[in-house]
Amino acid sequence: MCGGAERRIPSPACGVGLVRGRKRDPAMRPHPFPLPSKRRRGSGVRRLALERGATLVEVVLFIVIIATAVTAVLGTLSLTVGRSADPLVARQALAIAESMLQEVMSQPYTANDLDGGPDAIGPEAGETRFSSTSPFDHVDDYDGYSMNGIVKPDGTPVPGLSAYSASVAVQAQALDNIASGEGLLVTVTVTGPGGYSVSLRGFRARVAP
C-alpha cells in the first residue's frame, strides 16, 4: 500500500487505485500489460488453433485431387512422346509427294502419244516407269502407278524410305474455260509410318495438239 492517510487497494502501478467506499479515482488507468494468467490463457487458445490438424476427409480429398492432376499430366506427356516423331514423318512424306508430283508434271501432255496413235489415260502397252525402251512419256501414263518403298526413276531404292508408299491418280478435269478433255488433275498420295498420309494435287492443261 502506498503512503497516505486513506486506505487504498494497491494496484500494480502503485499509487493509483480505488479508495474504499468512494468512486473510482479519475487518474486511474488500466495497467499497460495484461496479467500473466490472461496472457497464458490467450496464448493457449491461439496455440490450439494453430496446432489443429487435417481431418481424414480432407486428407482423402487431397489425395484424390492430386492423383487426378498427376494422371492428366502423365496422359498428356505420354501422348506427346508417342507422337514426337510425327513432324519428321510429315516432312518426309511431303518431300516425297512433291518430288513425285514434279516428276509426273514434267512429262508432255499432247493429244497423240509420242509412240504414235491417240493418247489415252493410263500407260500404253509395254510402258513402265523404269523401262529404257518404253518409259512413261506422258502425264497420264502415271495413272494407277504405285510403289511400296520409294524408288528413283532409274529403279534405285532410296535408302531409309522403305516404310513409305506412294500412288498416283490421273483424271480428266475441266478448269474455267479449259474443257475436261484438255485438262488433267494429278493426285499423288504418300503414306508413311504410323498410317500418316499426305496428298498433293496438280492441274495440267494441254497447250499443244
The lowest-confidence range among 35-39, 66-70, 103-107, 142-146 is 35-39
pLDDT band at 17 (very low <50, low <70, confident <90, very high): very low
The pLDDT of 143-164, averaged and rounded, is: 93
Between 193 and 86, name the one with better pLDDT.
Answer: 193
The x, y and z cell numbers of residue 89, run together, are 514423318
The lowest-confidence range among 5-14, 50-59, 67-76, 89-98 is 5-14
The x, y and z cell numbers of residue 134, run together, are 518404253
End-to-end CA distance of the chain: 134
Which pTM value belongs to this model? 0.59
Which residue blocks in the chain are alpha helix, DSSP H? 36-50, 56-82, 86-105
Cα(81)–Cα(86) distance, rounded to whole angstroms? 10
Domain ranges (residues) in the chain: 86-205
Residues 6+ apart with CB under 8 A from 19: 6, 7, 8, 25
State pLDDT tens for residues 31-83.
Answer: 565 555 544 555 555 555 555 667 888 888 889 999 988 888 887 777 666 55
State pLDDT tens for residues 158-190.
Answer: 999 999 999 999 999 988 888 888 899 999 999
The pLDDT of 103-108, averaged and rounded, is: 93
- Residue 66 pLDDT: 92
